Amino acid sequence: MAAYHLDTFEAYLDARRQAAENPEAFWASIAAHFAWKRPWDNVLSADFERAHNRWFEGGILNITENCLDRHLEIRGNKLALIWEPNDPRERFVRLTFRELHTQVCQVANVLKKHGIQKGDRVALYMPMIPELAVSVLACARIGAVHSVVFAGFSAQSLADRIQDAGARCVLTSDGLYRGNKEIPVKRVVDEALEQCPTVEKVLVVERTLWAVSMQPGRDFWMHEEVETVERDCAAAPMEAEDPLFILYTSGSTGKPKGVVHSGGGYMVYAGYTFRNVFQCRESEVFWCTADIGWITGHSYLLYGPLLNGTTTLMFEGVPTHPDPGRFWQVCDKHGVNVFYTAPTAIRALMAAGEDHVLAYSLDSLRLLGTVGEPINEEAWHWYHIHVGKERCPIVDTWWQTETGGIMISGLGALSPMKPAHAGLPLPGVEAVLLDKEGREIEATEAEGLLCIKRPWPGMIRTTYGDHDRCVQTYFSAFKGYYFTGDGAKRASDGLFRIIGRVDDVINVSGHRFGTAEIENAINGCKAVAESAVVGYPHPIKGQGIHAYVVLRESAGASDEPQLEIVHAEIVEAVVESIGRIAKPDRIQMAPGLPKTRSGKIMRRILRKIAEGETESFGDTSTLLDPDVVQALVQGYRSLSEH
Ligand code: WTA
């Protein structure tokens, strides 16, 4: 029987060996630590080629019973959720497991009252307030499939996601505070819903008390509705493979895809990885700074901690508001023991200077974590020295929306730790490096394409409404492997270092965007003939967005004031189509793009120019018009001198 909790490095090695020798027995014994209404018949049926991987079939469960009900007897009065508002002067909220349970049941009953049933899709577009956590769990309680959309995406993005999922209901709020910004969330929803005929009901949570328009028969106030329902709601019995949620994420082609996770496997994987990566003790407070609109918020703000009975902290604001000491002030205020954030936040705070962090004791911290993008060594050391006081280990956790939970990472203080290295794969994760031909690289010290060789319980099940896309994107590049889209190095000691995406995905402040998605938005401008978007190294964001834009002849490219208008139009087009988070950092007007004779854009060259390279572009003989390269270099120079 494999241990659920790994408490020594030897226990980790042992679990890794057990999982390699008999993965089904290993995962069955991990899954046995959860509450099932009915045990599974079959641990795993796997088929990588058709992307048909099913875990714990025949098993019946409800993830909220595991997050809430299971804890009521022993820790009903323990804090489940601490909520810290955007404004430090506003009152914080604390909910015990019992209180959270009641609130989840009430909202679940409200959903039911409004006709939402098992299998229906519910979109959530909300600020980081306790009601968001409650609403996500309420969906899971009744078996509705939640699709959380980060409340920074535009009305158009929200509409696309609602339509793709065919959501029947939207949960939102009147408005939102984030740093010094105020966003009229309900108005964004109203705009989106003009294009969404499937939505029958909108439930609105009060946050800012702003006047909003309420459409009779469609829109209801949540606080009024909860008054009308019972305080208890039985957890719907769910098949292990019933979908739990959809989360949209960008890929290298086309529109964002809905990554689907199912309840049984996701629960086991999120629970097990949380327990072992963060090693939280019963009395500890865990803080993941990610928004619930991203996978990190799903797995490690909400489900992971609650599955393990850990107190989780939820923060409404941003690291720099009202000043760059805010994170550290919150750590001291609530006695945070484990702090999990993104490298981009660390770099932004590092740039603001040490004084802000030195003003706080940070005595409660035991462990630090990072996620979302590679962390550079300078930021790693700053985090280690100034935040962790050289006393707290750092876990650098590599994973993806598609993996459901952490795949490569240190385990608390147990594992070897090396700056900028994610470390070793978790038990049951068979991470390999492939060369370009798809051959496994045997040598330990190597660089290659990061792939996973074996199914794991938290893996993606499908892309919503388009299974073929799931097969094509993840399981077709190399037969028999899940392809991550990342390149990685393995050091002589076996520790992995993630280099970054090898496809046309850019990672801006830990948020994924497909270059095609941004190009589509730009190409929608009247003045634009075509465009190409690439990422370039950015000191705070990790990667910045560099857009090369070719204007139509009629656009008046030589006329300065006219150019400024076009520039503003391009920015506006991206903000409208995707959201402010995808705004290009640089827009370079170009006479043309470097294309091969077959019309393929040579992005390799565009990436080099955006990195400031002026000479060595490799073989450019296949280019239709090699002169365009020098013109682009010139254009880049005048851009950077601007
Ligand atoms: C990148 C976030 C380096 C990687 C959980 C991956 C990382 C993408 C790390 C997934 C890390 C995530 N070190 N790179 N520790 N963690 N990445 O889906 O490129 O938003 O493919 O999931 O982020 O981003 P996603």
Residue 371 DSSP SS3: strand
Q: What is the pLDDT of residue 1?
A: 79
**Structural domains of the chain, count:** 2
Q: What is the pLDDT of residue 620?
A: 81
Residue 373 lies in a domain: no
- Which of residues 190, 206, 236 is at a domain's end? 236
CATH at 579: 3.30.300.30
CATH at 215: 3.40.50.980
Q: What is the pLDDT of residue 605?
A: 93
Q: What is the pLDDT of residue 557?
A: 65
Residues 494, 4: Cα–Cα separation, whole Å: 24
- Predicted confidence (pLDDT) at residue 226 exceeds the cutoff of 80: yes
Nearest CA to ligand 1 atom 5: 400
pLDDT mean over 226-240: 98
Residues 83 and 58 sit within 8 Å (Cβ to Cβ): no
- Predicted confidence (pLDDT) at residue 592 exceeds the cutoff of 80: yes
Taking alpha carbons only, the member of 184, 177, 174, 234 closest to residue 204 is 174
- Predicted confidence (pLDDT) at residue 186 exceeds the cutoff of 80: yes
Residue 140 lies in a domain: yes
Residue 138 lies in a domain: yes
- Which of residues 182, 206, 236 is at a domain's end? 236
Give phi and psi for 200, each to the nearest 5.
-100, -30
- Predicted confidence (pLDDT) at residue 642 exceeds the cutoff of 70: no
pLDDT band for position 16 (cuts 50, 70, 90)? very high
Task: Name the CA radius of gyration of the chain, rounded.
Answer: 24
Q: Is the CB of 372 under 6 A from ligand 1?
A: yes
Q: How far is the CA of 110 from the centre of ligand 1 (A)?
A: 36
Q: Is the CB of 485 under 6 A from ligand 1?
A: yes
Give one word for 443, left, alpha or beta, with left for phi > 0 and alpha for psi -120 to 50: beta
pLDDT mean over 482-502: 96
Residues 262 and 56 sit within 8 Å (Cβ to Cβ): no
pLDDT band for position 441 (cuts 50, 70, 90)? very high
Average pLDDT, rounded, for the chain: 96
Q: Out of 257, 398, 402, 484, give the residue to mutate to test ligand 1, the one with the largest number of ligand atoms within 8 Å of its CB.
A: 398
Residue 132 lies in a domain: yes
Q: What is the pLDDT of residue 5?
A: 97
- Predicted confidence (pLDDT) at residue 211 exceeds the cutoff of 70: yes
In this prediction, what percent of the chain has a pLDDT beyond 90? 93
List, as one string, the DSSP characters of 544-580: EEEEEEEEPGGG-TT-HHHHHHHHHHHHHHHHHHTBG
Q: Which of 174-183, 337-346, 558-567 has the lowest mean pLDDT?
A: 558-567
- Predicted confidence (pLDDT) at residue 2 exceeds the cutoff of 90: no
Atom of ligand 1 nearest to the CA of 409: 15
Domain interval for residue 207: 99-236
- CA 111 to centroid of chain Cα atoms: 26
pTM of the entire predicted model: 0.96
Residues 529, 248: Cα–Cα separation, whole Å: 29
- Which of residues 204, 236, 268 is at a domain's end? 236
Residue 599 lies in a domain: yes
Q: What is the pLDDT of residue 639?
A: 87
Residue 441 DSSP SS3: coil
Burial class (CB in 10 A: 0-12, 13-18, 19+), 580: middle
Residue 348 lies in a domain: no
Taking alpha carbons only, the member of 603, 610, 573 closest to residue 588 is 610
Q: How far is the CA of 398 from the centre of ligand 1 (A)?
A: 6
Buried b / exposed e along 417-437 (16+ C-beta atoms within 10 A): bbbbbbbbbbbbbbbbbbeee
Residue 394 lies in a domain: no
pLDDT mean over 559-587: 93
pLDDT band for position 205 (cuts 50, 70, 90)? very high
Q: What is the pLDDT of residue 529?
A: 94
Residue 248 lies in a domain: no
Atom of ligand 1 nearest to the CA of 402: 18
Question: CA geometry: angle at 281 spanning 325 and 419, to 5°?
Answer: 55
Neighbours of 217 (CB within 10 A): 8
